[in-house]
Amino acid sequence: MTAQDINFKNEIRELTPLDKDYPERLRQISNPPTTLYVKGQLPPDDMPTVAIIGSRTSTEYGLDVARTFGRVLASQGVGIVSGMAMGADSAGQWGALDGGGHTYAVLGCGINICYPARNYRLYGEILRSRGGIMSEVPLDSPPLGKQFASRNRIISGLSDAVIVIEARERSGTLITVNAALDQGKQVFAVPGRLNDPLSKGCLQLIKEGAEILTSPEDILEYLHLKSAGEQLMLEKDTSALNPKQKSVYDVLSVNALHLDSIISKCRLPVQELAPILLELEILGFSECTKTGFYRRKL
């Protein structure tokens, strides 16, 4: 064992429901973790918290929405809870860091294992920003499917509400949703396109009674919080655009379109369209995701 390993283990807390620092929210669920291994901070019991979860293969739109919600909510003092998974989960947590707030990751492996490994930078930033990493399984426990299913009840248990951003009809995300419903938590779902497989889970949740979520303001109202004047809606205010800029912006979508498609829809020659796209990008209304592809910027 190296000195680094010893130092890491010395920074771990092992909490049981009998400890005063054990989260009160978890004490209230039917099957609280018998031991909670924690590195960093836990969300204070009086901090409003929200889970942001969704597909590991989120679209660019889903990632933008997750990061925007994480940023805006965290900037208003809401703690963001998730599982540090790829896709919507980690996007929401990065958003929380963008907003200068706190985020908390519940892992399905030992907390001395960064899983997925590519999120090692997020792991470090969560701790540096006075957030926390936690798990109910001991150190060195490898990531196993059954542990991820079990940890989802902790994610919902630590949260006052759960936000679902993109989920397939039979998504693992719905395990967290079911846990949240069992715990009496409010579930919000972001609607998507009817023909998108990643929207089917959210649309089904809405049919079954989940709240439709269209802006971070909905969550702030649910938590009885007020915004500090920041523009919270995902849609941009286009009143400052000139008619040509507005007509091009109206053609753009949250999913990237190829330049040829934009030319066809706008019926403008490329030599006229290209400067307008550049102006929209400079103004923060669009972005070039890769050569020749453009989309709206949230």
Domains, the chain, with CATH or none: 3-222 (3.40.50.450), 243-296 (1.10.10.10)
- Residue 82 near residue 151 (C-beta atoms within 8 A): no
Which tokens is 33 given? 């973790």
Predicted pLDDT of residue 255: 60
| Residue 93 contacts residue 82 (beta carbons within 8 Å) | yes
pLDDT of residue 110: 97
The predicted structure's pLDDT at residue 298: 65
Per-residue pLDDT of the chain (298 residues; tens, 9 = 90+): 444 554 556 689 999 999 999 999 999 898 999 999 999 999 999 999 999 999 999 999 999 999 999 999 999 999 999 999 999 999 999 999 999 999 999 999 999 999 999 999 999 999 999 999 999 999 999 999 899 889 999 999 999 999 999 998 877 788 899 999 999 889 999 998 888 888 899 999 999 889 999 999 999 999 988 654 444 444 577 888 999 999 999 998 766 778 888 998 898 999 999 999 999 988 888 888 767 888 887 6
- Residue 140: its pLDDT value, please? 95
Distances from the Cα of 55 to the Cα of 81, 89, 130, 160, 231, angstroms: 15, 8, 26, 21, 26
| Interatomic CA distance for residues 232 and 47, integer angstroms | 21
R_g of the chain, CA atoms, integer Å: 21
Residue 288, beta-bridge partner list: 294
Sheet arrangement for strand 257-258: 257-258, 293-296, 286-290
Which single residue is written with the structure tokens 């004047």?
A: 229
Cis before 116 (ω within 30): yes
pTM of the model as a whole:
0.76
